[in-house]
Structure 1
Amino acid sequence: MAQAPPMNVLEISAHFRVEHDKNRRQFSIRLNGSHDKAVLLYDYVGKKTVDLQHTEVPEAYRGQEIAKHLAKAAMDFVVEEDLKAHLTCWYIQKFVKENPHPHYLERILH
């Protein structure tokens, strides 16, 4: 019997629940209980280095700060796991610029 992939669920607010699927290397938010979901994709580019690559929110759900919740979860993961991060995704670059917390900034590779 196949074992379910490890998945962490982070409660961000009453409206959005961020799930972290470490096997698929993605953070996601299911939208309104439907099959639609917003995702943030990353990959390991070294033993302790991740590349936060891409954030995607379905067009109908844009402008609701959904990507912000994904970006925060990803950056918190980087801090908690003591990783370094490349910020390939423009949205995560924007998030960190707007939220210049030292514990985020010290993790970013330029």
Structure 2
Amino acid sequence: MEKIDHLPEQNMFLIDVGGNRGELHYRLSEQPSGTTSIDFTSTFVPPVFRGKGLAEKLVRAGIKWAKEQGYELHASCWYAAKFIR
């Protein structure tokens, strides 16, 4: 099972597979209501590892973390948006 690392200082989740990196990037913003929202902005998995569910693992890890923080979920990334609807 691949390990997913969260790098909050870089606003990203990272999965390493044989020295190749898959990434999920996000942006946090404070809303006028006082809540924080998260926008998952992009996902990337090296072509050789596409179709193996790695991007899904990244997105699910990101959503799980964001829900634990109580963030409002958004996704400008089309792939991440599929999991938020």
TM superposition score category, shorter chain reference: 0.7 to 0.9
Larger CA Rg, structure 1 vs 2: 1
How do residues 78-89 of structure 1 correspond to structure 2 at under 5 angstroms?
78-89=66-77
Aligned match for 1:41, one of 25, 28, 40: 25
TM-score by length of 1: 0.69
Q: Specify which structure has the higher proportion of strand.
A: 2
5+ residue gaps, structure 2: none
What is the DSSP-based 3-state SS (H/G/I as helix, E as strand, rest coil) of the residue aligned with 2:10?
coil
Q: Specify which structure has the higher proportion of helix.
A: 2
Larger RCO (CA under 8 A, 6+ residues apart): 2
CA RMSD of aligned residues (A): 1.2
Q: Deviating runs (4+, > 4 A) in structure 1?
A: none
TM-score by length of 2: 0.88
Aligned partners of 2:72, 2:81: CA distance in 1, in Å? Answer: 14
